[in-house]
Chains A and B, each alone.
Chain A
Amino acid sequence: VNPSITDLAGAFARGEQRASEILDAALTRIAEQNGRLNAFTAVTAERARGRARALDQARDQGRPLGPLAGVPFAVKNLFDVAGLATLAGSKINRDDPPAARDATLVARLEAAGAVLVGTLNMSEYAYDFTGENVHDGPARNPHDPARMSGGSSGGSGSAVAARLVPLALGSDTSGSIRVPASLCGIFGLKPTYGRLSRAGTFPLAASFDHVGPLAGCARDLALAYDALQGPDPRDPICSPRPPEPVTPRLDQPRRALRVAIAGGYFDKGLFPEARAALERVAAALGADRVVELPESERARAAAFVITAGEAAQLHAERLRRRARDFDPAIRDRLLAAAMLPASVMVHAQKFRRWYRDRVLDLFRDVDVILAPATPCSAPRIGDETLMLDGEPVSVRRNLGLLTQPISFIGFPVAVVPVPLSPLPIGVQIITRPWHEATALQLAYALEQDGVVAAPHPPPAAVQRVSGVS
């Protein structure tokens, strides 16, 4: 049983299922499985029941229903939810006053009829790729709870992959939507920088912070994206562009697209599963060339130092006052970040324009660039290193290697899950800025052709056995 957004909203609109019944089913799944997965940090049952009652009433009275009416969703706990402190995965923010209002994107999904059911686990202050959290415990991978969900939107990946909810919101500064989408085997969208409003979300690095949806199928991803779009004066980076809905043209006949594979930097250090997944998607899309995004290692370095500088500024006072209350790994990262010279950051911001121009040049000759989303499928929780070609490689430093250069310049990416055995892994479909539609259309076509799919996790009983082995 895997009801999609379309199934749920359709069943509700046709009167086959009450919003309250859909909600109760979701709350039951969460109650049964969250102990094992640790995806949710708060369940907003009371609020959700009120919303569901209002939706049922609206339907009974024949009032118009939104495209997501009755659909349960959850958000990474850096999104403001009225009445809750916005944790951003931290202990320190637990002392903050409750948010006075919802984040813009939470309000948009609810305006479309969706029902918020809770907030999701994440790496502290979004500054990590593993999905581990020293305060709340790690968000676990439904395909094997002994493995990482990926981060920093780990709870978002875990909750959607386990079908606790069909839709979650995450944020992505360097890969935090794309890495968990890859490790958990689901669809994820990191839109163009500035496309979706970040108002009411706790930041990491303003130069690169993006927000976006994670979902169990390509159509659901597009439906959510359409409900999320639109200008927002509350986010100065959010584009004034009007919404450009994708769902109505999702299955538009595919025009001849020029599809390339990212070579060079993006071809190094790949585990066999990443290569296999890329080859499968590339073959299905008729990729006929390899392009090199020049100086991508430096792009990653530049993204690293800007993120470090912006994060060090953001957390400076918290580091001075409450250093002991940070996750030790994040604290050490932030303390070191505070010591990098300012001139390096300026160099990075100048390099950013240079790199963007080179990648825009590449997109004159191609429409789509493919790259793996992660170099490997989900590592075991706590693993520090993985062996590649007999050499140990750092898990923390490598999980985001393939995503960071792309968010550095804000190009849109859809991640599609390739259901390899025993674990899925994602491929990035990268397009030119503001061309999310192309990426989503390809994701949908690949899913229709059976090339990509979000695989169902094995039954929980089997997992418990393998989890302790």
Chain B
Amino acid sequence: MLIYALSDKTQARMSDLDPFIDAAARVLALEIEPDWKPGVRDNLAAGLALARLLTSFPLPDNAEPAPCYEPDPQSGGER
């Protein structure tokens, strides 16, 4: 049976997504009409499956994210 969670340490299933969606929608102040729910659920399930695939890839603690933040891109520092 498919598991819709970020880890297989839990038994979250498709039916568990509905209360999650309801709670998240309230907390995030998003309105979801009843007939939108199946579409949201399908997309969330697909997104979680991809997220799970991604996060099962171990990264070292010192891995840096890709975007580089420059505190002052105009400055070349002291010369």
A contact residues vs B (CB 8 Å cutoff) = 207, 295, 297-298, 300-302, 304-305, 308, 319-320, 323, 328-329, 331-333, 335-341, 344, 346-354, 356, 397
What total of chain B residues lie within 8 Å of the partner, measured CB to CB? 32
Cα A302 to Cα B47 in complex, Å, equals 10
Contacting residues of chain B (37-55) with chain A, CB-CB under 8 angstroms = 39-44, 46-48, 50-51, 53-55
Q: Which A residues touch B34, using CB under 8 A?
A: none
| Known contacts A297-B53, A301-B50; A336 and B67 CB within 8 A of each other | no
| Known contacts A335-B36, A336-B47; A323 and B31 CB within 8 A of each other | yes
List 14 other contacts, CB 8 Å, given A301-B53, A336-B47, A353-B65.
A320-B31, A328-B36, A331-B39, A335-B30, A336-B43, A338-B28, A340-B51, A341-B6, A344-B55, A347-B57, A347-B59, A348-B54, A350-B64, A350-B66
Q: Which A residues touch B46, using CB under 8 A?
A: 336, 397
Cα A208 to Cα B31 in complex, Å, equals 28
From residue A66, how far is it (CB to closest CB) to chain B in Å? 32
Taking a contact as CB atoms under 8 Å apart, the answer to whether A298 and B53 are in contact is yes
- Interface of B, secondary structure class, is helix
B contact residues vs A (CB 8 Å cutoff) = 6, 20-21, 24-25, 28-32, 36, 39-44, 46-48, 50-51, 53-55, 57, 59, 63-67
Taking a contact as CB atoms under 8 Å apart, the answer to whether A339 and B21 are in contact is yes
Cα A331 to Cα B33 in complex, Å, equals 11
Q: Which B residues touch A329, using CB under 8 A?
A: 39
From residue A175, how far is it (CB to closest CB) to chain B in Å? 16
Taking a contact as CB atoms under 8 Å apart, the answer to whether A344 and B31 are in contact is no
| Known contacts A304-B50, A305-B50; A347 and B24 CB within 8 A of each other | no
Taking a contact as CB atoms under 8 Å apart, the answer to whether A332 and B63 are in contact is no
Taking a contact as CB atoms under 8 Å apart, the answer to whether B47 and A295 are in contact is no
Q: Which A residues touch B24, using CB under 8 A?
A: 338-339
| Known contacts A207-B67, A332-B40; A298 and B54 CB within 8 A of each other | yes
Q: Which B residues touch A319, using CB under 8 A?
A: 30
| Known contacts A298-B57, A339-B24; A349 and B66 CB within 8 A of each other | yes
16 A-B pairs with CB atoms under 8 Å apart are A295-B57, A297-B53, A302-B54, A304-B47, A323-B31, A335-B25, A335-B36, A336-B42, A336-B47, A338-B30, A339-B44, A341-B51, A346-B65, A347-B54, A350-B64, A353-B63
Taking a contact as CB atoms under 8 Å apart, the answer to whether A301 and B43 are in contact is no
Residue among A308, A320, A335, A337 with most chain B CB within 10 A? A335
